[in-house]
Structure formats: C-alpha cells, structure tokens
Amino acid sequence: MTSDNIFSGLKVVDLASFIAGPGAAVILSDFGADVIKVEPPTGDLWRMLYKVPPQPHARDNYPWHLNNRNKRGMAVDLKSPDAVKILERLVRWADVMIVNTPHPARKRLKLEYDDVAAWNPRLIYADLTGYGEKGPDANLPGFDITAYWARSGLLSLTRDAGAPPTLPVAGSGDHATAVGIYSAIVTALYRRERTGKGSYVTTSLLAEGVWACGVSVQAALCNASFYPLHDRKNPPSMLMNVYRAADDSWFLLVLESSRWPALAKGIGRPDLLTDPRFNDAAKQAANSAPLTAILDEAFGAQPMAHWHEVFEQAGITFGRVQTPADVIKDPQLRENDIVVPLEGAGGDLTSTISSPIRVAGVTKVPARRAPELGEHNDEVLEELGFDATEIDGLRVSGAIPKKRAKAS
C-alpha cells in the first residue's frame, strides 16, 4: 500500500465544537489533511463533558481524542478586535473551514460565509446547523439527541410497543452527520477542481436524521399505513425478532422464509414444519405469539456459542447484540482497521476508532493524540507570517491567551 495520502497538502480550519463538525475534520485528517483546531481560550466544551453522566467514566479524555486526533490546536478569542487579524490569515491559508457557531453569534463575530469568502474565493466553507439555515427554527439550539433523533422521527420508532421513547446513544447522530458534512466538503472540492471556485456547503442534524429515517418518512409522504410499534412477544413476523440465549446473550434473527426449515431443524423442532399453525407464512404471521414463545424456549436452552454455530452452518442471518465492552474484543475490528493504535495520548488510551471510509491502496495517517488547549498557537501564527512582536501583541490584546508558566 502507498503511504501517499489523498489529502496531503489540504489545509483545514476546524472552528466547530462538540462532535459532528470536528468529526468531519478527523476524516479529512485521516487521509493526510493538515487540520488546525481553533477553540476559545476556555476550550471547546467537549473537552469537559466526558466527566458528565451518563457519559462512561474514565480517567482519560477519550471523546476528545476520538474527535480531535491528528489536529494542531489553537486558542483564539474571536470576540477580541485583534482576532480578525488571525482569522483573515487562517482563511487565506485554508482550503476548508468548518463552522457550527449559531448564526446569530456568527453574524456578531463576522464569521458568516459572506464575511470571509472575499479573503479566499477558493475556500470551501462548511456550515453545520441543528435544523437548517432557514425556517422558524433555524436558530434553535440543537444536539444530535434533539435534532437528529427526536425531531427526525427516529426516536419514535426505536422502541418496543408500550415503552416510552428513551435517550439514544450519545454521539451516534453526530458521527453519522460528520460523514455527511465530510461528503459535502469532498463534493465541493471536486467542484473546485473543475471550476476553480470555492463553495458554501451545509447540512444539518435534522436533515441527516430524516435521511437516516428515510424509509419511514418516505412512507409517511405517500400516506402509508404503519404497523404498530414492535412487540417482541407478538411481532409482525417471528422471522425478524430479538431472542435471548441461555447465557443471557441477546441476538437479532433476520430469517428469509426459505430458511425456515433450516431454523426449525437447527433448534431440534422439525415438527414445526408440519404443525398446521405454522406451515405457511400467512399462518406463521397469524400465530406469531405462540411461535415466538416456542422459539424463546428453544433458544433459552443453549448458550450463544451454540446458536452461533447452528446459524452459521445453516446459513441463517443473525447479529449478536454486543455491548461496547464486547465490541472492542470483536476480531473483525482490528482485522479491518476499525480500531487502530493511538500515539501519544498516554494512560489507558492506546487505541482509537478509525473513520469508516477506506480507499484501497491508500494507508491512513497514523492516529496521534488530540492537541492540548492552544498547544500550537505560536507554531501556527509563525507559519501565518506573524513575527514574535506581533504574537506578543496578540497576547496583550487578549486575542490569544498568555502562555502558561511551566511547572517546576
């Protein structure tokens, strides 16, 4: 495999906070882009929230490194009048700028596309919002759990009958949206190759959530009739349901009707094939509850390892419901470079999750730790053409924080 990185030489300014925007920048960095993470002097709030329940507790700031690895870090107070000097040079330097500051604040900071595009007409300006740029809720604050999950329709469907909506997995909508804004950036870069022109590109947590829920939302668009919420003990079809093995492992069964004989024989119940309640698909659907009860009893008699072997030999599609602690032991992750080594983070944080895109023949940049707050201020400012006296002046004006005294 070649070590030449696809985005070698591509320059990215990541002004976004939390997960989705920085996640898109991580994907670019995995393929060689030079990414500068710009935070306020107090730091991106995502630095602190790993300690807040219900986030899993650890001594290492694992989400910060996951979403900001491979970047250089700057701390800049964009509210300072002198910060515009830094912003202008960053924009002139950059190929891509990623922003998710709410638009009212963005206007006050003169950080809108029209404010910066004159400095660099080739700039790809990537705008990430909660609910889109227009409409009555354009300025409504949004997180993935509110905009991607709740508002999109997803959260109403991902539950069993009789159960209330519950909190979704933190960051799951953000990471899906990161791939979306990355795709928008790459599309705009391709357009720039053909036209020489920069672009304003955007997506929202709501748009990405509706896309994820697209099959059901499209059904609603054509006035489809919806089945009731899934009832595990009385499902529309026992061929697609969740079951539990003897060792309390849950698994999802997705069975083509042609594989029903293989399943009946695999659980030691060939008599079900001639049982008049279950001998065709219509009868199985009509008698789903008693058939599910029979399967529950059968699956509960053997551990997951037994069923794994039975299903594999019979060509039956299934998926074990794994916890995160199970997932990190899954050999598929390291065999396919889904989990990779992380350099320099220290502590227990020796591995991280690679972005989900692979290009045959191209190796990604080795993952290295995320930056400390303002770690590369002087380095980047010097690259942008500021001399030592100017950098000192930026500190005096408050545009960048003063240097911290080194511990003795």
Region class of 374: left (phi > 0), else alpha (psi between -120 and 50), else beta: left
What average pLDDT does the chain have? 95
Average pLDDT of span 249-258: 94
pLDDT at 287 over 80: yes
Residue 253 · residue 239 · CB < 8 Å: yes
pLDDT at 53: 87
Q: pLDDT for 27-44, tens place per residue?
A: 999 999 999 999 999 999
Q: What is the CATH number of domain 11-212+329-397?
A: 3.40.50.10540
Average pLDDT of span 5-14: 96
Domain residue ranges in the chain: 11-212+329-397, 240-244+250-320
d(CA 384, CA 90): 7
pLDDT at 1: 42
pLDDT at 52 over 90: no
pLDDT at 408: 39
pLDDT at 140 over 80: yes
H helix runs in 38-126, sequence order: 62-68, 83-93, 103-108, 113-116
Instruction: Centre a 10 Å sphere on the Cβ of residue 368 and count the other Cβ atoms it contains.
Output: 17
Q: Please report, rounded to a whole number, the percentage of residues in the chain having pLDDT higher than 70.
A: 98
Q: Residue 98: which of 132, 123, 63 has the closest Cα?
A: 123
Q: pLDDT for 268-282, tens place per residue?
A: 999 999 999 999 999
**What is the DSSP code (8-state) at residue 202?**
E
Phi, psi angle pair for 246, to nearest 5°: -65, -25
pLDDT at 4 over 80: no
Average pLDDT of span 342-360: 95
Residue 74 · residue 380 · CB < 8 Å: yes
Average pLDDT of span 168-189: 97
Q: pLDDT for 370-391, tens place per residue?
A: 999 999 999 999 999 999 999 9
Average pLDDT of span 301-316: 96
pLDDT at 352 over 90: yes
Joined tokens for residue 49: 């929230």
pLDDT at 187: 98
pLDDT at 406: 55
Phi, psi angle pair for 345, to nearest 5°: -75, -30
pLDDT at 407 over 50: no
Average pLDDT of span 173-180: 98
CA-to-CA dists, residue 155 to 180, 290, 316, 323, 354, angstroms: 20, 29, 29, 20, 27
pLDDT at 51 over 90: no
Q: Please report, rounded to a whole number, the percentage of residues in the chain having pLDDT higher than 90.
A: 92
Q: What is the CATH number of domain 240-244+250-320?
A: 3.30.1540.10
pLDDT at 405: 58
pLDDT at 9 over 60: yes
